[in-house]
A and B are shown apart, each in its own frame.
Chain A
Amino acid sequence: MTELAPIRRQVVVPGSTAAAFEVFTTEIGLWWPLVELSVYGAGATVSFRDGRLVEQAPNGAESVWGTVLAWEPDQRLRLTWHPGSDPAKASEVEVRFAELTDGQTLVTLEHRGWERFADPAAARAEYDHGWPQVLADYAGHAGQGAASPAADGPIWLALMHTAGPALPAGEPVFGQPDFAEHIAFLRRLDERGVLVAAGSLDGYAEGMTVIQVPDPAEAATYIRLAQEDDQSVVRGLLQVRARPWHVALTGEGSG
């Protein structure tokens, strides 16, 4: 074990990649949940300024959350990440924006080196609602966006699975007790009529599941379910990354 697998979260939002990038960066102060996720709490503001993401308290005090490493409008944002702690302990966050269908954007957030994330004790002392309370608040909040117009054709998604932090190094995923949860999840996909095919790519932990859904709203739902309903992913045995598969051609064999 040299580096743990990155934390990866994906969400589908209405709007173009350009709009999503703009809201995520220039307008971060309009949506970031500062009351729960901040160093100074309610009343603070957060913005990208001079290549850094900075939180400002009402009294003018500042906390630098990270430094921008890559700023590629409409596509990608990468920054160091050390809210409430020492820049020397920074981990790294990357956010990618990809078109799912016309007017729908798949946002992929990856947090690397997160095991270095440390010393929120100092930040916690400064405010009541420390970041650790967030998990409890989050339950039931994950409502998806507005209803979406139907796309032209079915949407294909490839769910790429790789080893998670709970998989003991060097052991194949198949022998793990929680792997049964992954199979159960695949069965549920099949029962809902969206499963096309699923299987291993390397006989160890890497695998791919292809699903087909009728519209962007369903795509958003299944991207969420792949992260939240597959207990092997929830428990960290596997990681998942959904990738839109822009299928151009299908053959006779596709059934």
Chain B
Amino acid sequence: MSNQVAVDAVLDALGDRTRRQIVERLRSGPLAVGEMAASLPVGRPAVSKHLRVLEGAGLVEHRSVGTRNLYALAPAGFTALQQWLVGTWDRALAAFADRMAERHTETEGDPP
């Protein structure tokens, strides 16, 4: 199931604190590696490594603007995570609806 592979990559990528901090930094707009490294407790090479993981999971994409290499959030990874969570909540809500239906059947016929 390809979506499963995508979700595992996203969850693994977001399981790291530094990578979550990078994602949070990128919410306000695209940034270069140096700009991210300046506000994080890790060096530039480490930031680049984390960005490759995030890019592999579809959470981040990069493009060159002149001589600058800018990183930005990408929709694909977040869509995969969203769809996985939707499936999770649907499973829980389906169980809830089943319980309500059972209860309805049990009480049917009782005076109101």
Contact = CB atoms under 8 A, between A and B. Distances in A.
Contact of A114 (B12, B81, B98): B81
Contact of B79 (A37, A133, A138, A236): A236
A216 B82 CA distance: 28
Given A13-B100, A121-B15, A134-B91, 18 more contacts: A4-B82, A7-B86, A11-B96, A23-B99, A23-B100, A37-B91, A117-B81, A132-B4, A134-B84, A135-B7, A136-B1, A138-B90, A142-B90, A143-B98, A146-B105, A235-B79, A236-B75, A236-B78
A45 to B, nearest CB: 15
B27 interface: yes
B95 A32 contact: yes
11 contacts: A23-B100, A31-B95, A32-B92, A33-B95, A111-B89, A115-B81, A138-B90, A138-B94, A165-B75, A165-B78, A234-B83
A225 to B, nearest CB: 13
Interface of B: 1, 3-4, 7-8, 11-12, 14-15, 20, 23, 27-28, 73, 75-76, 78-79, 81-101, 103-105
Dominant secondary structure at the B interface: helix
A36 B88 CA distance: 9
| Closest 4 pairs between A and B when the two form their complex, measured CB to CB | A145-B101, A135-B87, A31-B99, A13-B100
Contacts of A1: 27, 73
B72 to A, nearest CB: 9
Interface residues of A, number: 58
B82 A19 contact: no
Contact of B94 (A14, A142, A146): A142
